[in-house]
Amino acid sequence: MAALPKLKRTDQAAFDAFSIKRRRLADKLASIVITFGGIAIILSILAILVFITLEVYPLWKGAKAELAGRFDLSKSLVISSKSVNPTSVSDFPILALGIDEYRQIGFVITENGLVDFISLKDGKAIKQIPLGKIEGKKITSALGSLDNEEYTLGTDDGYILPVDIKFNVSFNDNDERIIEPEVVEGEPIKVDALPLTHVAFNALDDDLKGVAAVTSDGRLIFLSQLTTSSLVGEEKKEELKYDLTPELKGRIVTAIALDQFLDNLYVGTRKGELYHWDIRDKANPRLQEVIDATGNPEIAITDLGFIIGDRSLIVGDGSGNVSTWFQVEDNTSPIGRRLKKAHALAQHNGLVTAVAASPRDRGLLSADSKGVIILDYSTSERKLLELEGEGYPIKALAFAPKADGAVAVDERGTLYNWSIDNPHPGVNLKALFGKVWYEGYSKPEYVWQSTGGTDDFEPKFSLTPLAYGTFKGTFYALVFAIPLAVLGAICVSQFMHPSLRNLIKPVIEIMAALPTVVLGFLAGLWMAPLIEKILPAVFLIPAVLTVMTLSAVFLWRLMPKSVRGRFKEGSELFLLLPIFIFGIQICLWLNLPIENLLFGGDYKASIFNTFGLQYDQRNALIVGFAMGFAVIPIIFTISEDALSNVPKHLISGSLALGATRWQTAIKVVLPTASAGIFSAIMIGFGRVVGETMIVLMATGNTPIMDWSIFNGFRALSANIAVEIPEAPHGGTLYRVLFLAALLLFLVTFLVNTAAEIVRIRLRKKYQQL
């Protein structure tokens, strides 16, 4: 074959120049693509951070209020009350007021037995309905419910009248809402012959009703009505009436409250004492306790009320203090519980004249003698708003049924109508990260419980037990993973033949490809029941394998060199496999004898009786094994790379100076590769902190704070996965979950930043070797 002609020098130079240009162009394109990719990743991360932050931000915006209307009721009520010709509001003092759910119509109940409905747009009277069943009588006291529907009226001749205020809604042909007010009167109940100055009424159903009232001469009366039906349909009414005045010992009653369950009667006095009667047995009301609620006999209790659910009592006093109380377990009490002051709320500058609880959450309004109204949230003790009138004492106060507004009337007959925007009242730093005294708990605690089965449920949004669970799972997973991964990397990189290393390392790396949902499934449904049966053997395995491994190594060293030389460097480690299998089998054989010998045949009962530790099948031990297995490939791979990249001259120099391979690995290779190993551990840490499916499937998802390895936990990531599908968009739970995501993001960022700083310092320290 003829030889190819040689290129001329000019042609060769042109070809070389073209090749250089092509390489430069390729390098430039690669640089552009890599730079663009890096910038895109950074922008994506920043975009995620911005999105999460925007979702969290509304939690901290606080409440807002706007005065939607101010009306002089003396003018409005005169127009609608021509029959009595009043000249001012003092002719028909307002005892109660309310508002419909659309905040279009307000109403007041006056002393002369009239219910006046007023437009909240212009303050004009819409309708007036007289109470026919107490016609000609004077109303001396009134009490309303949270929903602005049920009212109890006391009269000057000793009767109480239950009244329901209803609003019938319809739409006309133009789709305009038409609201028609209606008053439904119940049957009057005779309590006494004298006027009633304070009243409280509740009915569990049509069969049981309870009434508490204070007469004009200071007597406290409790009355109950029980209706029973016979098999033939005959109804029998039984009425029980008790005068509780002697137990007051001359104290003057200033406020009363009767819960909706008809279990508890609370009475406040002028001396600041709070009396509590247990009325579960209607035939035998018992004075349970007397509490000095104000701490000063000169300061009276001025008003009582209930937070939604009627388990937390609101107490307002003459010095402007507002607090909430509820019953907690107490073994010293005859009934096993006592009333305790749980929350002290924002203080007024004047005496408290009225309180009103929110019908939607744990919020409450309190008003004082200087015309100031404060909106508080009981659980978090957070002051949300302060509304100001015209400086005159507030006489009556009510929340809107949707908790999006409030109405109040001062002593001059001025009606105030506020619109309130309060989307996240229960969130502050204390509620999220501090101990909070929740209703029914014996003391302040960290609790996460986002939902409940009733409308009066008290949300508990403490992120502390979730963060605790996250770090608990991380700790046990890394305790399992770090020794195995790092020591395995040292063994593979320093003591194993390259051909074996090239086989083993890819196998371990493939482990990282296993889906975590599969690992969680296996851990929760297979590993957890298995370990529950053989727990003593599980704790025995490390000790037995350590002893057998050291014994095998000692025997191996006694073998002749001619025998040891037949094995590739590092392949002798495979001889440990049958020893490991045999050692594990020995532990399994010893499981039952050890449980019988050391734990009396039941290790669960033994550790509970001895250490107070409860064993849950899905616990931190299971999660440690499963998450440790998931993170071992990451730590191993990066550590092995760091160890293998230690300069060979360092290893050769150490061996030449007489050091053994083990001494070289520990004192030369390991310190030199420490920066990479530290990075591996931190990457593994970040992987474990963000793990979701294993934690979700292998633990009981119980948000408790206990370092016991036998208990479960709930991590931040798993909590997000569990709760977010059911969280209403834009609601408090929804945004708190995004806050949890932001915390995970920040923790990972800070840990990685700190790890990078440490890695750089370690690298500088050993780069001169």
What is the residue type of 536? P
Residue 570 pLDDT > 80, yes or no? no
- Going by pLDDT thresholds of 50, 70 and 90, the confidence category of residue 227 is confident
pLDDT of residue 674: 86
- Going by pLDDT thresholds of 50, 70 and 90, the confidence category of residue 768 is low
- Range of weakest confidence among 247-251, 397-401, 630-634, 763-767: 763-767
Residue 90 pLDDT > 50, yes or no? no
Residue 86 pLDDT > 50, yes or no? no
Tokens of 577: 């496999």
- Going by pLDDT thresholds of 50, 70 and 90, the confidence category of residue 452 is confident
Residue 347 pLDDT > 90, yes or no? yes
- Going by pLDDT thresholds of 50, 70 and 90, the confidence category of residue 230 is low
Residue 399 pLDDT > 70, yes or no? yes
pLDDT of residue 9: 62
- Range of weakest confidence among 212-221, 496-505, 582-591: 496-505
Residue 558 pLDDT > 90, yes or no? no
Residue 667 pLDDT > 70, yes or no? yes
Question: For the sheet containing 220-229, what is the strand order?
Answer: 196-203, 208-215, 220-229, 235-243
Q: What percent of the chain has pLDDT over 70?
A: 94
pLDDT of residue 84: 40
H helices present in 156-232, as ranges: none
Compute the average pLDDT of residues 207-229. Answer: 90
Long-range Cβ contact pairs of 683-687 (< 8 A, separation 24 or more): 683/634, 683/635, 683/638, 684/478, 684/481, 684/482, 684/485, 684/631, 684/634, 684/635, 685/474, 685/478, 685/751, 685/755, 686/748, 686/751, 686/752, 687/630, 687/631, 687/634
Residue 685 pLDDT > 60, yes or no? yes
Average pLDDT over the chain, rounded to whole?
88
CA torsion, ordered 289, 291, 297, 303, to nearest 10 deg = -100
Residue 489 pLDDT > 50, yes or no? yes
CA distance linking residue 425 with residue 678, whole number of Å? 44
Residues 6 or more apart in contact with residue 716 via CB below 8 angstroms: 463, 466, 467, 469, 470, 740, 741, 743, 744
Q: Which of 365, 358, 335, 337 is nearest to 439 (CA)?
A: 337
CA distance linking residue 752 with residue 745, whole number of Å? 11
Location of structure tokens 């294993």 = 694
CA distance linking residue 120 with residue 550, whole number of Å? 87
pLDDT of residue 1: 46
Q: Which of 371, 342, 376, 338 is nearest to 356 (CA)?
A: 376
Q: What is the pLDDT of residues 701-723, one digit of tens each?
A: 888 888 889 988 999 999 999 99
Compute the average pLDDT of residues 623-645. Answer: 91
pLDDT of residue 87: 41
Yes or no: say if 201 and 172 are a contact pair by the CB < 8 Å rule: no
**Can you spell out the DSSP letters for 221-237?**
EEEEEEEEE-TTS-EEE
Residue 79 pLDDT > 80, yes or no? no
pLDDT of residue 8: 57
- Is 105 strand, coil or helix? strand
pLDDT of residue 232: 66
Q: What is the pLDDT of residues 571-629, one digit of tens each?
A: 677 778 888 899 999 999 999 999 888 888 888 889 888 888 888 889 999 999 999 99
| H or E element that contains 526 | none
What is the residue type of 372? V
CA distance linking residue 752 with residue 759, whole number of Å? 10
Q: What is the pLDDT of residues 462-473, one digit of tens each?
A: 999 999 999 999
Residue 78 pLDDT > 70, yes or no? no
pLDDT of residue 758: 81
Q: In terms of pLDDT, which residue wins out, 90 or 710?
A: 710
CA distance linking residue 723 with residue 717, whole number of Å? 10
Residues 6 or more apart in contact with residue 481 via CB below 8 angstroms: 627, 628, 629, 631, 632, 635, 684, 688
Q: How far is CA 726 from CA 35, 137, 720, in A?
A: 40, 53, 10
CA distance linking residue 450 with residue 429, whole number of Å? 17
Tokens of 60: 């901290």
Residue 284 pLDDT > 60, yes or no? yes
Q: What is the pLDDT of residues 3-34, one digit of tens each?
A: 555 545 666 777 677 778 888 888 889 889 99
pLDDT of residue 85: 43
Compute the average pLDDT of residues 284-290. Answer: 92
Question: Helix crossing, 498-511 with 620-644: angle to 10°?
Answer: 140
**Can you spell out the DSSP letters for 53-79?**
HHHHGGGGS--EEEEEEEEEHHHHHHH
Q: What is the pLDDT of residues 332-342, one digit of tens each?
A: 777 778 899 99
pLDDT of residue 600: 85
All domains in the chain, ordered by first residue = 65-448 (2.130.10.10), 464-562+574-768 (1.10.3720.10)
- Going by pLDDT thresholds of 50, 70 and 90, the confidence category of residue 569 is low
Residue 82 exposed, middle or buried by CB count within 10 Å (0-12, 13-18, 19+): exposed
pLDDT of residue 168: 92
Q: What percent of the chain has pLDDT over 90?
A: 52
pLDDT of residue 26: 86
Compute the average pLDDT of residues 524-551. Answer: 90
pLDDT of residue 10: 67
Residue 181 pLDDT > 70, yes or no? yes
Rounded to 5 degrees, what are φ and ψ at 5? -65, 140
Secondary structure (H, E, C), 238-264: EEEEEECHHHHCCCCEEEEEECCCCCE
Q: Provide the 10 A C-beta neighbour count for residue 289.
A: 16
Tokens of 653: 């120099």
CA distance linking residue 673 with residue 650, whole number of Å? 12
Q: Which of 677, 710, 536, 692 is nearest to 627 (CA)?
A: 692
pLDDT of residue 80: 43
